[in-house]
Amino acid sequence: MTVHRRSAEKVELTVADVNRDAENTGTDAVVGEFDLAREDAVDAVLPESGTARFDATGDTALMPAWDDLVREHADRVYRLAYRLSGNQHDAEDLTQETFIRVFRSLSSYRAGTFEGWLHRITTNLFLDMVRRRNKIRMEALPEDYERVPGNDPNPEQIFHDANLDPDLQTALDSLAPEFRAAVVLCDIEGLSYEEIAATLGVKLGTVRSRIHRGRQAIRDNLAASGHHSGRSVLAHDF
């Protein structure tokens, strides 16, 4: 799959970001600073499955440098976050929070596919965000709320970056969060049902049900917008 990346931008995660997160969760502050650097605009062909494995033993001493790790995975995390949330600001927040969690949890990382770990963290953060907002639906963010700095591309560019047709993104956004996560992980990210069950912490039958119902809802939404069965915009055969 060919992905057209955004123009170069720099996302900075500061000591204050990490320490503020530590305070909110009641854990010790972490002293450190790192940059989440995005590469220049290029056409890149990404692998269909995860490839980052540190070592069969999980030896943290053999892990790649932090900057290299972030640079390799930043775009992948942002795309997943955008496909789940459907908007730039939430995607940037989720990307920042994901790497904060990774930064603080590397010492407990177990041997395995790093992309799978990122999928779990990003998806669970998205679901937590939705649940939190459902509880405080009417509470607005303050004007000085800190977001990950970016180049503020227009909505058309955002859709282009996420490699999804606008009508498809709208159809995804119409799904309940749990159904959206299952469909995105299966039909866009390419995870197996078993991997999705592990990521979401639900039974295999629940995954199958959510994907089936989510796909049907997307078909109905796309048909209502003039796309017959969604085949004109879907990369996968729903």
Q: What is the pLDDT along the chain (238 residues), one digit of tens a residue?
A: 223 334 234 344 443 454 455 455 444 433 333 333 332 222 222 233 334 445 445 555 566 677 888 888 899 999 999 999 988 999 999 999 999 998 888 777 776 678 888 999 999 999 999 888 776 554 444 444 344 444 444 444 444 454 567 888 888 889 999 999 999 999 988 999 999 999 999 999 999 999 999 999 999 988 887 765 444 444 444 4
**Residues 145-189: tens digit of each pLDDT:** 344 444 444 444 444 454 567 888 888 889 999 999 999 999 988
What DSSP character marks residue 160?
A: H
d(CA 104, CA 128): 18
CATH at residue 237 = 1.10.10.10
> Which CATH number characterizes residue 130's domain?
1.10.1740.10
Shared-domain flag, residues 141 and 178: no
Nearest to 118 by CA among 169, 64, 65, 81: 81
pTM: 0.60
* CA distance linking residue 92 with residue 149, whole number of Å: 8
Q: Which residues pair with 34 in a beta bridge?
A: 13
User: And the tokens for 222?
Assistant: 């796309």
Tell me, yes or no, whether 150 and 214 share the same domain. no
Asked if 133 and 110 sit in the same domain, the reply is yes
**172 plus 104 within the same structural domain:** no
140 and 176 share one domain? no
> Considering only CA atoms, which of 175, 181, 176 is closest in space to residue 201?
181
Question: 12 and 128 share a domain?
Answer: yes
Question: Does residue 65 sit in helix, strand or coil?
Answer: coil
Side-chain half-sphere of 212: how many Cα atoms within 13 Å? 6
β-strand partners of 4: 43
Residues 41 and 92 in one domain: yes
Last residue of a domain, one of 155, 190, 211: 155
Largest CA distance in the chain: 54
Q: Is 143 helix (H, G, I), strand (E, B) or coil?
A: coil
Q: Residue 93 — φ and ψ, nearest 5°?
A: -60, -45
Q: Structural domain tally of the chain?
A: 2
Domain boundary among 136, 155, 174: 155
Same domain, 172 and 134: no
Q: Are residues 25 and 105 in the same domain?
A: yes
Q: What domain range is 194 assigned to? A: 164-238
In angstroms and rounded to an integer, the radius of gyration of the C-alpha atoms of the chain is: 18
Closest CA to 17 of 150, 143, 145: 145
Same domain, 80 and 169: no
228 and 111 belong to one structural domain: no
DSSP β-ladder status, 34-37 and 10-13: antiparallel
- Of the candidates 138, 155, 172, which is a domain's last residue? 155
Determine phi and psi for 45, rounding to 5 degrees: -100, 115
Instruction: Tell me, yes or no, whether 30 and 137 share the same domain.
Output: yes
Q: Which of 36, 108, 111 lies closest to 76 in space, CA to CA?
A: 36
